[in-house]
Amino acid sequence: MLVAAGLARSTFFYHQQRLSMADKHAQLKQAIGDIFECMHHRYGYRRVHAQLRRQGWVVNHKLVYKLMDELGLKSKVRVKKKYNSYKGTVSHITKNVLDRQFTPDKLNMVWVSDVTEFRIVGTKVYLSPIMDLFDRSIVSTSPNTALTSQSLRDAIAQESPGQGLLVHTDQGFQYQHSSWRSLITGIGGTQSMSRKGNCFDNAVMENFFGHLKTEMYHGETFTSLDEFYHALDEYIYWYNHERIQKRLKGLTPMHYRNQTLETQTA
């Protein structure tokens, strides 16, 4: 039979032995698959590798990449398309006080925001979340079919930031409006704006929107606004409490925040 198949005996028995051997990476593959499913197909190999390390695995990131490729586990691909709320100088433009200093050393020291747009069952929904740059957590969201200052109002009520808070955005017309500005000045805060047409001045929030659209919106179908709002709430909770970040030493925003607070009160 071997002669008819054109195979050498050594080749035949080599492959037969390989087939009979147990997969030495079986448990690791199972762990990788579990993480990938648990994180809703949103993790690439780097974050899967970091999560494995948190679980006690000692494994090279290259092996994780190889096994994910073998298992056909591909994270969702980002689609770049940005909503632009700039409509010229409507009211008031401030200087770029933040100046790309994206790593404050305290909570509630620098908040950033921006606007992105979703189209749900024929209706435009706007999202202008507040992010704390210290731990990259999303403090508030308040999605709405109209542009409002509710997210900032909610964040202030929730966090009670002290004087000196810096709030940075682009030059969108809603951020020039007196309702937004008065909320900042009312707590003794300072307003900061990106330079016109320079997305890198607010790069962290831009990056968050990229992940949000890829991991929760693109490729999904929502049959009602309520369904979308529920999915958004679930994503924000997942982002804050479960999505690890390399910048935060492999921790989630809330884990990093709580660890910081414990250190400060120790």
In the three-class reduction of DSSP (H, G, I as helix; E, B as strand; rest coil), residue 111 is classed as: strand
Three-state secondary structure call for residue 3: helix
Distance CA 99, CA 236 (A): 27
Give the residue from 172, 167, 198 showing the smallest Cα distance to 83: 172
Where in the chain is CATH 3.30.420.10? Answer: 110-265
Q: Return mean pLDDT, the chain.
A: 87
Own/partner pairs, 253-261, CB within 8 angstroms, 24+ separation: 253/135, 253/136, 253/137, 253/138, 254/135, 254/137, 256/135, 257/107, 257/134, 257/135, 257/137, 260/107, 260/134, 260/135, 261/107
pLDDT score recorded for residue 153: 97
Of residues 75 and 102, which shows the higher confidence score? 102
Please, are residues 52 and 59 in contact by the beta-carbon 8 Å criterion? yes
Amino acid, single-letter form, for residue 122:
G
Confidence of residue 1 (pLDDT cuts 50, 70, 90): very low
Query: Which pLDDT belongs to residue 79?
Result: 55
- 256-262: average pLDDT: 91
Tokens found for residue 192: 């900061």
Rounded mean pLDDT of 127-136? 97
Residues 97-118 have a mean pLDDT of 96
Higher pLDDT, 135 or 147: 135
* 110-265 maps to CATH 3.40.640.10: no
Q: What average pLDDT does range 108-115 have in this prediction?
A: 97
Q: What is the pLDDT of residue 72?
A: 85
What would the pLDDT profile of 21-74 be if each residue is shown by its tens digit?
557 888 898 888 888 877 777 788 888 898 898 888 999 999 999 998 888 888
* Cβ–Cβ < 8 Å for 52, 32: yes
The whole-number pLDDT of residue 265 equals 72
